[in-house]
C-alpha cells in the first residue's frame, strides 16, 4: 500500500520487508500471523487489544513490539491515520481504515460483511480509494445462509435431541432431494436399532479462536455449560468475554457442549470420542461448521462460472435456513449423528455483492484466491459488474438500524 512510512498488513511470513517500518495484523489466525515468533524484531506490530494479548501469550512476541489499538477511534500515526473496525470474523479481528490527506484505503483482512460496516461512522458516505477485499468465497456457489439462522437451527436440533426422545429417529428419516440412495441405507440401519435415548454429548468444531458463536448459541438454548481443554481455555483468557467465560467449565462431564478442533470433527471419530465419557453420555452429535459445505439450490444454477445479475443476487439469493433443512451426514445413526453446517465467519458471495454495491469504491484488490490468472479474471469480472451496478442505480441503501442485507 502506498502509505508513508511503509506499511504492511498480514505480511509476517516475509520477515523484514524492505522499506516497511510498521506491521499491521488483522487477526490471530495462523495464515495471517505466520512468521511471527518470539524472535520478531523487525518492527512494531499494530493490532487490536485481543489480538495483541494473543500474540504476546501464544507466540511469545516481546511486548515492546506489540502496539494494541482501540476500536472505533481515529488514531494519528505519523503521516496517516488508522481506524480499527470490528471485522465480524473471529474475536479480535478488525478492518483497518487508513487515511491520508490524499487517499482512503480499507483493508478487510478476513471479515463477514454486514450492514454495520457500511453504516460505521468512519465509512458511511466516504469514498474508498482502494479496497483490499477478503475474497475467500467470491463465487456464486457460496451464497450461504445468514450466520444467526445457522446457529439458531443447530441450537434447535440440540434442544429437540435433548428434550424429545423420538426426535433422533424422525430426523434420520428425513429425505434429502437427490440423496435417496443414502437415505434408504440410513433408514435400513435405523430399523435394526433398538436403543434407549440417553443424554446427548454435543461437539462443535472450532479454530484456535473462531466458531465460538455456534457453541454459545447451543449452550444457551439447552441451558448447558461449554467444556474446552486447558490449552483452549488459556487462549480464551485473552478474549475477556464475560458471556463465554460464564459458560466455560474445565469438567467434561459438567459441560454438555464440547469444543474440539475443526479437523477432528469426522463421523469416524465421534464414537471414539463418546466412549471416553460413557455412561455419563450415551449419544453424541457433532457439528462441523464451514461455508465450504454449502450446496446451493439446484434451481439457482450457481456454478462457479455462473453470471447472475447483481439484482438477482441481492434481491433473490437470501438463502433461508432452518432446523428442517438439516439432514445428518453419511454414517450417522440414532446415537452418533454428524452434521456439516454452512456456518462461516467469512463473507458469503451475497454478502460481498451487497457490501460492494453499498460502498463508494475506486478499485478492489482481492486478497484470497489470487494464485491463477483465471481466478483473478473471474473476480475482476465481478468487481466490474458491481461497479457497473453502482453507476447504474447508485449506492445500495443501508439503514442505520439494519442488521441484515
Which of 297, 318, 341 is the last residue before a domain boundary? 341
Opening angle at CA 70, ends 68 and 76, nearest 5: 85
User: Do residues 247 and 362 share a domain?
Assistant: no
Q: Which domain holds residue 374?
A: 7-137+348-393
| Closest to 335 in 3D by CA, of 274, 249, 247 | 274
User: Do residues 114 and 167 share a domain?
Assistant: no
The residue length of the chain stands at 405
User: What pLDDT, on the 0 to 100 scale, is given for residue 5?
Assistant: 64
User: What pLDDT, on the 0 to 100 scale, is given for residue 186?
Assistant: 45
User: Do residues 374 and 244 share a domain?
Assistant: no
Question: Helix (H, G, I), strand (E, B), or coil: what is residue 181?
Answer: helix
Asked if residue 400 is part of any domain, the answer here is no
Asked if residue 253 is part of any domain, the answer here is yes
Asked if residue 2 is part of any domain, the answer here is no
User: Do residues 177 and 113 share a domain?
Assistant: no
Asked if residue 187 is part of any domain, the answer here is yes
pTM: 0.92
Asked if residue 103 is part of any domain, the answer here is yes
| Closest to 226 in 3D by CA, of 249, 207, 243 | 249
User: Do residues 17 and 122 share a domain?
Assistant: yes
User: Do residues 155 and 71 share a domain?
Assistant: no
* Residue 121, domain CATH: 3.60.15.10
CA atoms of 110 and 23, how far apart (whole Å): 17
CA atoms of 304 and 317, how far apart (whole Å): 15
User: Do residues 387 and 312 share a domain?
Assistant: no
**Backbone Cα Rg of the chain:** 23
User: What pLDDT, on the 0 to 100 scale, is given for residue 324?
Assistant: 92
User: Do residues 123 and 169 share a domain?
Assistant: no
Q: Name residue 338's beta-bridge partners.
A: 286
Which of 314, 341, 368 is the last residue before a domain boundary? 341
User: Do residues 122 and 249 share a domain?
Assistant: no
Q: How many domains does the chain have?
A: 2
C-alpha cell of residue 309: 445479475
Inter-CA distances, 150 with 60, 94, 215, 319, 324, Å: 36, 23, 12, 11, 11
* Residue 283, domain CATH: 3.40.50.12650
Asked if residue 91 is part of any domain, the answer here is yes
Burial (Cβ within 10 Å: 0-12, 13-18, ≥19) of residue 262: middle
**Tens of each residue's pLDDT in the chain, 405 residues:** 556 668 999 999 999 999 999 999 999 999 999 999 999 999 999 999 999 999 999 999 999 999 999 999 999 999 999 999 999 999 999 999 999 999 999 999 999 999 999 999 999 999 999 999 999 999 999 999 999 999 999 999 999 999 998 888 888 876 444 344 444 544 444 444 433 445 999 999 999 999 999 999 999 999 999 999 999 999 999 999 999 999 999 999 999 999 999 988 888 899 999 999 999 999 999 999 999 999 998 888 777 778 999 999 999 999 999 999 999 998 899 999 999 999 999 999 999 999 999 999 999 999 999 999 999 999 999 999 999 999 999 999 999 999 999
| Closest to 221 in 3D by CA, of 275, 279, 148, 115 | 148
User: Do residues 322 and 202 share a domain?
Assistant: yes
User: What pLDDT, on the 0 to 100 scale, is given for residue 305?
Assistant: 74
User: Do residues 62 and 123 share a domain?
Assistant: yes
Asked if residue 223 is part of any domain, the answer here is yes
C-alpha cell of residue 367: 486478497
Which of 323, 341, 359 is the last residue before a domain boundary? 341
User: What pLDDT, on the 0 to 100 scale, is given for residue 188?
Assistant: 47
User: What pLDDT, on the 0 to 100 scale, is given for residue 198?
Assistant: 57
Asked if residue 211 is part of any domain, the answer here is yes
User: Do residues 179 and 268 share a domain?
Assistant: yes
Cα distance from N-terminal residue to C-terminal residue, the chain: 30
Amino acid at each position: 500500500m502506498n502509505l508513508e512510512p511503509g506499511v504492511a498488513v498480514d505480511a509476517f511470513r516475509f520477515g523484514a520487508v524492505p522499506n516497511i517500518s510498521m506491521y499491521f495484523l488483522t487477526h490471530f489466525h495462523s495464515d495471517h500471523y505466520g512468521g511471527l515468533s518470539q524472535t520478531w524484531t523487525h518492527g512494531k506490530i499494530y493490532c487490536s487489544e485481543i489480538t495483541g494479548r494473543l500474540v504476546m501469550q501464544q507466540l511469545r512476541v516481546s511486548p515492546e513490539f506489540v502496539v494494541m489499538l482501540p476500536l472505533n477511534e481515529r488514531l494519528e500515526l505519523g503521516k496517516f491515520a488508522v481506524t480499527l473496525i470490528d471485522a465480524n470474523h473471529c474475536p479480535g479481528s478488525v478492518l483497518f481504515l487508513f487515511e491520508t490527506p490524499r487517499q482512503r484505503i480499507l483493508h478487510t483482512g478476513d471479515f463477514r460483511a454486514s450492514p454495520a460496516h457500511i453504516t460505521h461512522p468512519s465509512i458511511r458516505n466516504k469514498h474508498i480509494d482502494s479496497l483490499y477485499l477478503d475474497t475467500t468465497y467470491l463465487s456464486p456457489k457460496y451464497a450461504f445462509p445468514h450466520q444467526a439462522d445457522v446457529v439458531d437451527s443447530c441450537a434447535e436440533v440440540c434442544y429437540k435431541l435433548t428434550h424429545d426422545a423420538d426426535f433422533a429417529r424422525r430426523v434420520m428419516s428425513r429425505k434429502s432431494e437427490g440423496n435417496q440412495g443414502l437415505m434408504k441405507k440410513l433408514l435400513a440401519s435405523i430399523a435394526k436399532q433398538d436403543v434407549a435415548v440417553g443424554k446427548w454429548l454435543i461437539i462443535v468444531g472450532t479454530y484456535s479462536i473462531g466458531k465460538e458463536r455456534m457453541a454459545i448459541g447451543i449452550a444457551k438454548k439447552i441451558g448447558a455449560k461449554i467444556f474446552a481443554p486447558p490449552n483452549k481455555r488459556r487462549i480464551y483468557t485473552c478474549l475477556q468475554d464475560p458471556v463465554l467465560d460464564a459458560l466455560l467449565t474445565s469438567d467434561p462431564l459438567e459441560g454438555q457442549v464440547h469444543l474440539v478442533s475443526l479437523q477432528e470433527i469426522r463421523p469416524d471419530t465421534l464414537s471414539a470420542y463418546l466412549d471416553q465419557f460413557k455412561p455419563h453420555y450415551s449419544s453424541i452429535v457433532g457439528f462441523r461448521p464451514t461455508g465450504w459445505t454449502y450446496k446451493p439450490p439446484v434451481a439457482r444454477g450457481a456454478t462457479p462460472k455462473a453470471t447472475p445479475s447483481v439484482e438477482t443476487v441481492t434481491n433473490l439469493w437470501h438463502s433461508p435456513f432452518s432446523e428442517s433443512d438439516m439432514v445428518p451426514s453419511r454414517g450417522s445413526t440414532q446415537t452418533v449423528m454428524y452434521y456439516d453446517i454452512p456456518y462461516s465467519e467469512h463473507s458469503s458471495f451475497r454478502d460481498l455483492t451487497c457490501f460492494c454495491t453499498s460502498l463508494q469504491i475506486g478499485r478492489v484488490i482481492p486478497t484470497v484466491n489470487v494464485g491463477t490468472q483465471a481466478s483473478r479474471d473471474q473476480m475482476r469480472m465481478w468487481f466490474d459488474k458491481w461497479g457497473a451496478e453502482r453507476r447504474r442505480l447508485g449506492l445500495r441503501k443501508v439503514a442505520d438500524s439494519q442488521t441484515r442485507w
